[in-house]
Amino acid sequence: MTLDIPLISAVAQAWQAGVTAISTGLVQPAGAALGLTERLGNPADVAEALMISVLHLVLIGGVLRPLESWWPAERWNDRHHTRVDRLNTILMIMGLFPLFSFVVLTPLAQLFSEGAGAGADAPSGLKLWVPWFNDHPWLLFGLYYVLYDLAYYLMHRTQHLIPWWWALHSMHHSQRQMSCWTNDRTSYIDGVLQSFVLAGVGLVMGVDAAEFAWMTLLSELMQNLSHANVRWDFGTLGGRLFVSPLFHRLHHMKRDPENPALHNCNYGQVFSVWDVLLGTARYEPDRVRETGVSDPVVDADNDLGLVGQQLYVARRFWSAVRRRAGWKPGDVSFGPGYVPVPDTDAPHGR
Ligand SMILES: [Zn+2]
Ligand SMILES: [Zn+2]
């Protein structure tokens, strides 16, 4: 089925022309110069991935960033804490994530489908269990997306529950100026772990590489929006279905000393419905809370640059993961030597 709408076909043509130009003008010469022509596969696919990355950055910088100026949730005199997140985002979107997918995830997925005795195009996962889906690809994509989002919700709760994983994930929460760039403020160790979990879920469901790339891009864009410093909720009904900026801001709230467990809420990635169903949803439409953490060991992330943060978080993780206390579920902060201390025993809490 082709849609004969002039604007859409003009955009599609321009996109295709861009893919061809980048493929022949950049990817092929660069591949040849680096001796990677064989390994790169189809240069047009690489060019398209590159264009999607650039488009992603343009949407964050050109759409979400202006929204922060027009409808700010918090007013700041300067944005100096957001700089390191912006740098992280550019590095992650333009380099680290595509590289990791290309070098690790894709070969691993191929290995799995070969190991299962199926060719790359043979149906697997949901398509194999319910063949009816082969004729209803959009419904299938919707179902994949819902299950992928549920998997993310459960993983995110675990990131908060297990102290060694919190040692990593806390870097995402230490930001005092949460903005459209904060989504990619992640420890690289955590990024690798998350990718394995989510790609594993994709493999079990039988998602192919292109579908997985679209699911990731959609989720990433929604998460860039939900971290933006924008005073938006999505109304009573919309806010119960989708994660809005104010909804996710509550997940990032600094610990409330009057009510120390209040921050354990709003774990959803794109759909807030998991929080509603599983009793972790919280709404405060008339109030904007400070973001960040009370634990001074974690808050110290804010004084570091890109590389410093990664090294510091890796030390926190290493101290937690090799101790029994690092595996005991519950809210913790970090004591001397980055030893996890249950919040019930700590003066300031997480
Ligand atoms: Zn979190
Ligand atoms: Zn977040």
Taking the chain (350 residues) in runs of 10, the rounded mean pLDDT of each run is 71 91 91 80 82 90 97 95 96 82 72 61 73 82 90 97 98 98 96 88 78 79 96 94 97 93 95 97 93 96 97 98 96 94 82
Ligand nearest to the CA of 186: 2
DSSP structural state of residue 134: G
For residues 279 and 310, give the distance between their C-alpha atoms in angstroms, rounded to a whole number.
33
Strands (E), the chain: 332-334, 340-342
Ligand nearest to the CA of 85: 2
- Kindly give the distance from the C-alpha atom of residue 170 to the centroid of ligand 1, in angstroms, as a whole number: 7
For residues 221 and 204, give the distance between their C-alpha atoms in angstroms, rounded to a whole number.
24
* pTM value > 0.85: yes
Ligand nearest to the CA of 183: 2
Would you call 175 helix, strand, or coil by DSSP? coil
Every domain of the chain and the residues it spans: 72-345
- Kindly give the distance from the C-alpha atom of residue 230 to the centroid of ligand 2, in angstroms, as a whole number: 14
For residues 57 and 90, give the distance between their C-alpha atoms in angstroms, rounded to a whole number.
7
For residues 243 and 262, give the distance between their C-alpha atoms in angstroms, rounded to a whole number.
18
The alpha carbons of the chain give a radius of gyration, in whole angstroms, of: 21
Ligand nearest to the CA of 158: 1
- Kindly give the distance from the C-alpha atom of residue 188 to the centroid of ligand 1, in angstroms, as a whole number: 15
Minimal CA–CA distance to 322: which of 184, 164, 187?
164
Q: In the block, which residue shows the tokens 């889906």?
A: 133
Token reading at 333? 């902060």
Burial class (CB in 10 A: 0-12, 13-18, 19+), 316: buried
Token reading at 132? 């009816």
For residues 217 and 223, give the distance between their C-alpha atoms in angstroms, rounded to a whole number.
10
- Kindly give the distance from the C-alpha atom of residue 19 to the centroid of ligand 1, in angstroms, as a whole number: 36
CA angle 146, 152, 153 (to 5 degrees): 90
pLDDT, position 202:
81
pLDDT, position 7:
85
Token reading at 305? 């640059």
